[in-house]
Amino acid sequence: MTYTNFTLETDADGIALVTWDMPDRSMNVFTEEVMTELDAIVDQVAGDAVIKGAVVTSGKDSFSGGADIVMLQKMLTAFTREKAADRQKATQQLFETAGFMSRLFRKLETCGKPWVSAINGTCMGGAFELSLACHGRVAADSDRVKMALPEVKIGIFPGAGGTQRVPRLTDQQQALQMLTSGQNLSPKKAKQMGLIHEIAAPSELIAMAKAMIRNGLKPVQPWDEKGFKLPGGPIYSAAGANLWPPAIAILRRETYGNFPGAAAILKCVYEGLLVPFDTALRIETRYFTEILQTTEAAMMIRSLFVSLQELNKGARRPSGLPPTQFSKIGVIGAGFMGAGIAYVTAKAGIPVVLIDRDMPSAEKGKAHSAMLMDDLVRKGRAKSEDKDGLLSLITPSDDYAALDGCDLVVEAVFEDSQVKKVATEKAEAALTSSVVFASNTSTIPITVLAKNSARPENFIGIHFFSPVDRMMLVEIILGRKTGDKALALAIDYARAIRKTPIVVNDTRGFYVNRCVLRYMSEAFKMLIEGVPAPMIENAARAAGMPVGPLALADETAIDLAQKIMHQTKRDLGPKAVSPEQMKLIDTMVDKHSRFGRKNGKGFYDYPEKPAKKHLWPGLKDFYRQQDADAVDFEELQQRFLAVIALEAARVMEEGIVSDPREADVGSILAFGFAPYTGGTLSYIDGMGAEKFVALARRLQKKYGAEFKPPKLLADMAQKGETFYQRFNPYPDDTGQAAA
């Protein structure tokens, strides 16, 4: 029998090697066709007396990325369409469809023949669940091998037996930590947890897997044998009593109940470990079906998987232009940002010249890369030769002539128009006219900076976020005269350094900073109202933000906020900045010298380690404090999310961002906008424009003009539209946009 996605070869010992190698795919994924073929292969292995057992592996560098989420999206779209006619029937169909993979893996592990998974590379999600269903598991001893069940990160959870097999192979505490965090496991860690049996040299992987079968591997899982006992003890035991109450409390503390998928994991594990295995799988599928129907799952799948992948593949790249193969990149400015840009460029294997005003400054910038690599070596994530190789790609210089031969130059000097003007002119004097010049600016409009260039069509903004090595987003800003070539090259560069690009039209603050400034401004307003500072920070985190707005203001520097406010007043007039907020910031900086984390005192105090930072007690003396019991905590949360989402809607209305995928993904990657919502626009779509507009108008009446819905939203509310319908990023597939 022949298959499209698999090959099956039986050796002289009767061991079948099942190799998964999907044509026209860079990585294996579970599709309907793949699962149908695997189902047939299980039957073939079980029914052929010659075959003693089977080894499943991959013909690619990676094992598999798991399930095809687009398939899952289509399944949910079908459910949405069919539930209008008969919800009970639609739910039953969703249950049956969603449970197919779980039933397939159960069939494999009870087929009567031993199966071994030979994991040769990345093994994620459903692929790791397949491996856990095999009777033996061997992983290659390679840095490329990472195993995980990361579904919780996109709003769902492992629904093909993962919540049942993991806690039957390892202790419940480690199982819960792995399942609720989606953490990656190295071969060594997976073996320590009992999730794999052996680690083999890559060249010996298949041989070791086959040897397990030849040596008498039992075709029965531990939980199917009489007398099986859970690692670490049963639920109702002293160990269980010490684990479960804190586990529930910790999850609540970390998620504030915002992630239904994470809560379902605890329910699946707890309930599943109390019943026979087949019943446990059915419980898991029921919860999986329930979670698939949540707004959180729909929005997170769309933004954090589908849209993120599409943007990473260059969805906004102009068509018809050949991809750029970078041979050399120039970075001007070896300060913290410039040094970080040089590091990620070299880490991508691209030679980079790092320019500063003198050699000591340039060398200091290169030393930043050495420090980052030393940290990776210390943690075992890199080797000393990796450090040497990366540093060999960075050439520090004080001579602009060293930029000759660059494909792209990124200017990352001080945020001052005149300083940037000098850098631009010096660089262009050393470059050919075809080279693209990019400015890393967070506030100055690109069109203004492009006036310093002799070729504005090749001038573009690439806004990195700090710290560059950890932040995964870049904003690519188009000036009024920026051409398609510059845009295509900037997107190619972002992809080369493994950053997610979003494309933004020119405006003050671009997209991300406009939203972030609204977030911090609302916190300042709450302080002035007398809301206790701890309530402000806790409300923001309860709303789903990873960092409170006052802590964020400290990270970005309060004196920088002061400079931005004063510059905004000069540029746009005194009404552009709230006088009360200006007074607050001026008092913090000028009277109390509280600049933020950088000088150890801001809205928080930063004592020496091991003591933790804490809110500055002096804040409560600034304004008369409200009684905490009288403050509407839920309304504080609504204010934070709504004020940011409204700014995102204005950005769409103004045409600054034109693709809702970029608004959503950008808001999550840049400043962590409540990931469970799917992003700023999905937050509105998930609530419904009409309901959101009603909320905004109620908040506007109580708190002011920042909550006034733009005309775009009022029109969408009236027509019952979503952003993904109004600004459909899939003009040839309306179903995809509505999903």
The residue with tokens 């980079």 is: 352
Structure tokens at 442: 């967070």
| Cα–Cα distance measured from residue 260 to residue 296, given in angstroms and rounded to the nearest whole number | 8
Buried b (16+ CB within 10 A) or exposed e, 336-354: ebbbbbbbbbbbbebbbbb
Q: Which amino acid is at 707?
A: F
| Predicted pLDDT of residue 732 | 65
pLDDT for residue 72: 82
Q: Which CATH architecture has domain 6-293?
A: Alpha-Beta Complex (3.90)
Closest to 712 measured CA to CA, from 646, 664, 656, 637: 646
Give the three-state DSSP class for 409: strand
Stretch (H or E) spanning 102: helix 100-109
- The token pair at 634 is 């839920």
- Tokens representing 138 are 């061997």
Q: Cα dihedral angle (666, 672, 676, 679), rounded to 10 degrees?
A: -30
The strand pairing partners of 57, in sequence order, are 19
Q: What pLDDT, on the 0 to 100 scale, is given for residue 685?
A: 97
Residue 381's pLDDT is what?
86
Q: Are 90 and 79 in contact (CB under 8 A)?
A: yes
Q: Residue 259 in 3-state DSSP?
A: coil
User: Tell me: the pLDDT tens digits for 268-291?
Assistant: 999 999 999 999 999 999 999 999
329-507: what CATH class? alpha beta
- State the maximum Cα–Cα separation within the chain, in Å, rounded to a whole number: 86
Between CA 243 and CA 173 the distance in angstroms is: 7
Q: What is the location of CATH 3.90.226.10 in the chain? A: 6-293
Whole-angstrom CA distances from 471 to 245, 328, 467, 623, 661 are 35, 23, 6, 36, 18
pLDDT score at 739: 44
Both tokens of residue 580? Answer: 């009360």
Q: Give CATH 1.10.1040.50 domain extents, the chain.
A: 513-726
CATH topology of domain 513-726: N-(1-d-carboxylethyl)-l-norvaline Dehydrogenase; domain 2 (1.10.1040)
Give whole-number Cα distances, 547 to 120, 186, 629, in Å: 38, 29, 23
The dihedral through the CA atoms of 580, 581, 584, 589 has a sign that is: negative
At 733 the pLDDT is: 57
Q: Where in the chain is the domain with CATH 3.40.50.720?
A: 329-507
C-alpha distances out from residue 691 to 642, 683, 688, 694, Å? 12, 11, 5, 5
Which three-class secondary structure state does DSSP give residue 473?
strand
Task: Provide the whole-model pTM.
Answer: 0.92
The model's pLDDT over 408-457, given as tens digits with 9 standing for 90+, comes to: 999 999 878 899 999 999 999 999 989 999 999 887 889 999 999 999 99
Residues in the chain where the model's pLDDT stays below 70? 732-739
Element (H, E) at 137: strand 136-140
Q: Give the residue ranges of DSSP H helices in 453-572.
A: 484-496, 512-529, 533-542, 549-556, 558-572
